[in-house]
């Protein structure tokens, strides 16, 4: 009996030793994890340094280019809005055309009937601003100036040597009678003294004078 029990005791001892070895191994494994944990995690100082290095490169919208949490660095300046360009006057500094600055030619038109074409050319050496709608046409010996016909024009700069055109209606078909005229008086504005200009291919009969604004082409001037 004692011989038979000895092997069992030996087996139990071996089993106990095996269990103890397994427990020891498990404890060593947990220790390895604990020792490895600090090396895997970021230290507070490293994390703070990472945030600190990223922060200056981040601009805050509407903050004039200042870095988040700080003031603008000395290496750059806050962008400044460019000042709007000064608006030029309508004439761009060019003086108004005067009646004496231009030369005039009035020629009876083949059509439309009872019309003449006025061509005004800047004879001065300088550009001037032409008043498009103030043209005054009168016939010597007749009272009153011609009425405005057609749309209003727009003042524009007339360079030296350039021409502008206006249409003159001397007589309406539904108006009888009138005065015969071979010349016309022209002023660019009512305040100026007129220039007397002969009517080429005249004379004409005048009973209800009308005049257009100045246009850039003869065709436009004779449309009305």
Residue 1 has pLDDT above 80, yes or no: no
pLDDT, average across residues 19-44:
45
Cα dihedral value 91, 95, 96, 98, nearest 10: -160
Quote the pLDDT of residue 172: 73
Nearest CA among 170, 103, 99, 88 for reference residue 130 = 99
pTM: 0.59
DSSP state of 95: P
Mean residue pLDDT across the chain: 72
Quote the pLDDT of residue 125: 95
Give the rounded distance of the alpha carbon of 104 from its chain centre. 39
Residue 127 has pLDDT above 50, yes or no: yes
Percent of the chain clearing pLDDT 90 (strictly above): 47
Residue 175 has pLDDT above 80, yes or no: no
Q: Which pair of tokens denotes residue 7?
A: 């092997």
Residue 37 in contact with residue 31, Cβ under 8 Å? Answer: no
Quote the pLDDT of residue 92: 58
* pLDDT band at residue 212 under the 50/70/90 scheme: very high
Nearest CA among 129, 179, 121, 183 for reference residue 153 = 129
Question: pLDDT tens-digit profile of 82-113?
Answer: 333 333 344 457 999 999 999 999 999 988 88
Question: pLDDT tens-digit profile of 156-166?
Answer: 999 999 999 99
> What whole-number distance in Å separates Cα of residue 24 and Cα of residue 28?
6
> What whole-number distance in Å separates Cα of residue 37 and Cα of residue 209?
107
């Amino acid at each position: 009996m004692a011989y038979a029990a000895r092997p069992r005791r030996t087996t139990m001892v071996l089993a106990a030793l095996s269990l103890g070895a397994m427990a020891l191994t498990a404890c060593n494994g947990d220790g390895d994890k604990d020792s490895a944990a600090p090396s895997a995690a970021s230290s507070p100082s490293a994390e703070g340094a990472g945030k600190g290095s990223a922060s200056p490169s981040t601009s805050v919208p509407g903050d004039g280019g200042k870095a988040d949490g700080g003031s603008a660095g000395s290496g750059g300046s806050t962008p400044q809005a460019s000042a709007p360009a000064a608006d030029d006057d309508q004439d761009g500094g060019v003086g108004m055309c005067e009646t004496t600055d231009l030369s005039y030619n009035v020629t009876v038109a083949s059509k439309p009937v009872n019309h003449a074409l006025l061509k005004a050319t800047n004879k001065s050496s300088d550009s001037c601003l032409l008043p498009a709608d103030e043209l005054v046409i009168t016939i010597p010996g007749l009272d009153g100036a011609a009425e405005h016909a057609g749309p209003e024009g727009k003042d524009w700069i007339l360079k030296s040597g350039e021409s502008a055109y206006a249409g003159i209606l001397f007589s309406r078909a539904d108006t009888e009678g009138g005065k015969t005229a071979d010349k016309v008086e022209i002023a660019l504005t009512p305040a100026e003294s007129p220039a007397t200009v002969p009517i080429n291919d005249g004379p004409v009969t005048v009973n209800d004078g009308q005049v257009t604004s100045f246009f850039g082409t003869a065709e436009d001037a004779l449309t009305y």
